[in-house]
Amino acid sequence: METVALVSSYDKEDMASIKVLHSCTILTHRIITNRLHILFHFTVTLLLLYYRISHFFNGNSLPALSWALITISEIIFTFIWCLTQAFRWRPLSRTVSIDEIPANMNLEGLDVFVCTADPRKEPTMEVMNTIISALALDYPPGKLAVYLSDDGGSYITLYALKEAFAFSKRWLPFCMKYRIKTRCPEAFFSLAKYEELSITDEFSAKKDELEMPLLVYVSRERRPSKPYRFKAGALNALLRVSEKFSNGPYLLVLDCDMYCNDPTSARQAMCFHLDPQMSPSLAFVQFPQMFYNISKNDIYDNQARSAYRIKWQGMDGIRGPSLSDTSFYLKRKALYGSPNCEGTQRFLYSNKHPSEAQRTSGELMKFSSEEEIAILKEAKLLASCNYERNTKWGEEARWTSVYFCPTRPCFLGCTTIDMKDALVQLVKWSSGLLQIGLSRFSPLSYGVSRMSILQSMCYGYFIYQPLYAIAFLIYGIIPQLCFLNGIPLYPKVLSPWFVVFSTVYLSAIGQQLHEVLSDGGTTLTWWNEQRIWVIKSVSGSCFGCLDVFMKWSGIKKTTFRLTNKAVDKDKLEKYEKGEFDFQGATMFMIPLSAMAILNMACFIGGLGGIILRRNYEEMFGQIFLSLFIMALSYPMIQGLLKRSKKEKQ
C-alpha cells in the first residue's frame, strides 16, 4: 500500500507536523488475476481468428460473404475487448482521512457550477434541491459560491432560486445544529424525519447573522447566428463569470439532478488537492455517479457497475480517470494551461479581471454599489455568445486525475426509468463519441502522442464502443439465415476447434461473472447487465452510428437532446417491478424487433432441416446462439405481445 503524507500547515514552524490525509492501495491480487486472464484469453482468441481467416482462404464450400461478415464481427469484438483490458491492467483504490485536516486550515475558495436547460424535462424543484444541497456543503461559507446556469432563461427557475436561498437561511443552521448528513431537503424529508425539523426562535433570531455562501444566477446570451455549445458552453460561461464574483481556485460541477448526498465531499476532495506531492499536476478528483432511484433488479443497468467499480478504478492506476460530466472537484488552473505554466489568466483577453493577489484564496469580496454595477456589466459580456471568438478556450490541457469511491455516496442523481430515455441518452453519447473516433482526434492516433498507450486504449474503448452495434447485428442475422439454409458457421462439436470457440465464450462471460460476484452482485445482476448491453447496442448504439453517418453526409445537423428527468408514476411502478417500458421507443426497437423475429423464424424453420439432415454436430453452435438470443430478447417479445393485446382491446 502506498501512503502519501501531507504538510498540515503553511507556516514554516509547523512544517515538521505531518498528517496523512489519503492512502492508495494497489489491488495486487486482482492485477495478477487480470493479467493471467488477458494472456490466456488473448491466446485463445488468436486461435479463433486464425481458424476464421485460414478457412476463408482455404477455398471451403461455404458462402464467402457470410464467412467474411461473421469474421468481421468477431474482429470487432476482439478489437474492443483488447481496448477494455487497459482498465484491468493496474486497478487501485483510495481512502481519505478528513479528520486529519487541521481545523484552523485556511481552505481555499470553492465554486459550484450547476447547469439546467428546460424546466419541463428538468423539474425546477429537483434543481433547487441540488442548489440547496450545494449551499449546505461542509465548507467555510465565506469560501463557497454556487452558480446556476439556466439556458432556458426561465422566470420560474429564477423565482424558485430566490425562494430556495431564503429557505437555505433556515435550513443550513438546522443542518449544522443537528449535524444532518443528508442535506438535500427532498431526500431528508423522504426519510420521514419531519418531526426533527423544528425551526426554533433561536434560529429565527440568528438567521440574519448567519454567513451564507454566494448564490449567482446566470442565463447566457444566445443568438441563432452564433454557434451554441450547450452544456460545455454553459460551463465556459460560468467559469468566466465566476471570476468576477468569487474566483474560487477549485470548482465542483454538478448536473441539475445530482445533489450532494454527503456534505463532507469537498473536504474529501481536498485530501488530494492539498497534497503538495500530488497537487502540482492534479487537475480533478472524480467521484462516481450514483442514483437514488435505482430499483432492486436494475434492469437497465443504471448503476453502471462496470464503469464505476471496474473501469474508473483501472484508469486511476494509469495516470487517472476521464472526466465523467458531473460530480468532480476541478482545479480552476487546470482549465487555463499545463501544470508548469504560471498564472491562471492565460486564455483571457479582458484586462478587467481581478488580479491573483485579490483572489488568492477565492475569498468572497465586498463591493460598493458602483462596483457591483460594473461587475454585473462585465459578467454579461463574459456570458455573451461572442466572447470565445479568437481565443483558445478548451484547446490545451495536460494533467493527472484521481478517482475516489467512498463508502457513502457523495452525490446522488435521478436516472432514467424507461427504455426511451435510456436510448435517447445512449444515441447522444454514441454519436458524439464515434464522431471523435472517426476524426483526426482519435485517441488511437492523435492520443498516443500525448498519453500512454494504456490511456489511449481506455479512451479508445469509450470512443469505439458504438461499433458493438455492427458486430451484434451481424451476429443476429447471418448465423440465423445460414441456420435456416443448413449452412454451418462453427466447427463440429467433437472438433478441437469447437473447444477454442467455446473456451473464448466461457472465458469472456466467466470473467464478467467473477467481477460481478466479487463486487457483491448476483447472477441476476450479471444477466441483467448482459441483456441490457445487447439491447442497447443493437438499438441505441445502432442509431448513434446512423446519426454519425447522417451528420457526416450532411443530411442532418448536430442537435441537443436533453434527457428527461421528470418522473412518471406509471413508469416508475413498472421499473420497480422489473418490467421493461418500451413506450415511446418504438423506432429505437425496430432493429432489435426485426432481429428477434428473424431469429425465431429461422430457428423454427431450421430445426426441420436439421432433423432431416441429422447434422446436429455441425449446427450445434448456431442452435445455442439462437436460443441465447431468444433468452436475451424475451423482455422485448413480452412487451410486444402486451402492446398488441392492448391494441386489440
Per the annotation, binding residues for UDP-alpha-D-glucose are 121-122, 151
Element holding 623 (H helix, E strand): helix 616-632
Q: Which three cell numbers stand for residue 636?
A: 422485448
Whole-number Å distance between alpha carbons of 248 and 250: 5
Q: Are 321 and 455 in contact (CB under 8 A)?
A: no
Whole-number Å distance between alpha carbons of 649 and 645: 6
Best CA proximity match to 512, nearest among 503, 501, 523? 523
Per the annotation, binding residues are 121-122, 151, 231, 255
Q: Are 530 and 632 in contact (CB under 8 A)?
A: yes
Sheet with 214-218: list strands edge to edge: 214-218, 144-150, 110-116, 250-255, 328-331, 282-286, 400-403
Whole-number Å distance between alpha carbons of 341 and 617: 67
**How many DSSP H helices and E strands does the chain contain?**
21, 13
Backbone region of residue 107 per phi and psi (left: phi > 0; alpha: psi in -120 to 50; beta: other values): beta
Per the annotation, binding residues for Mn(2+) are 231, 255
DSSP-derived 3-state class of residue 142? helix
Whole-number Å distance between alpha carbons of 363 and 354: 12
Best CA proximity match to 96, nearest among 319, 407, 307? 407
How many C-alpha atoms does 440 have within 13 Å on its Cβ side?
0
How many residues appear in the chain?
Answer: 649
Look-up: residue for cell 421528470?
566
Task: State the pairing for strand pair 92-96/214-218.
Answer: unpaired
